[in-house]
Amino acid sequence: MKVLALDLGTKTMGVAISDAHLMLARGLETFRFELNRFDIAVGRVLYWLTQESIKTIVLGLPKNMDGSEGNQSKISRDFKAMLEAEIDIPIILWDERLSSKMAHSHMLQGKMNKKKRKSSIDEVAAVVILQSYLDAKL
């Protein structure tokens, strides 16, 4: 059984998955959907659940640096509720502060060109979120 991680935006969703041993995260995709059409994003999560043996979903919860939650946090919480209406596996909200910044740093270190960085930032952020979750569970 694996863990699926999501980095949700208003038009994109980064998706990452763990290995079966729950040690390593790897990116699956950056899924694009129409602005605020979270129902389409839910459909994509359901697709991945049919493709992989998933025991848990980790959904990034964006927080401000002071720990408070803003509008994007509400979107993540609402998305969690949408998923819970469709599936019966645990969905964990995970603090994603600095995940995009860390993802960007990893891509710069890997000498990824600007176009590739822009198209895959959400996928790499999902990997950062998932690896953080997996490391905390060791």
Question: Which range marks the domain in which residue 74 is found?
Answer: 2-137
| Spatial separation of the C-alpha atoms in residues 98 and 123, rounded to whole Å | 14
Domains contained in the chain, number? 1
| pLDDT value of residue 117 | 44
| Spatial separation of the C-alpha atoms in residues 132 and 111, rounded to whole Å | 23
Whole-prediction pTM:
0.85
User: Cα angle at 67 between 61 and 72, to 5 degrees?
Assistant: 40
135: which 2 tokens?
A: 């490391």
* Count of helices and strands (H, E) across the chain: 4, 5
The length of the chain is: 138
Q: Round to the nearest angstrom and report the end-to-end CA distance of the chain.
A: 16
- Bridging pattern class, strands 91-95 and 54-61: parallel
Element (H, E) at 68: none
- 15-36 per-position pLDDT tens digit: 999 999 999 999 999 999 999 9
For residue 41, give the nearest of 19, 12, 5 by alpha carbon. 12
- The arithmetic mean of pLDDT across residues 81-106, rounded, is 80
- 68-90 per-position pLDDT tens digit: 888 899 999 999 999 999 999 99
Q: What is the CATH number of the domain that holds 55?
A: 3.30.420.140
| pLDDT value of residue 51 | 96
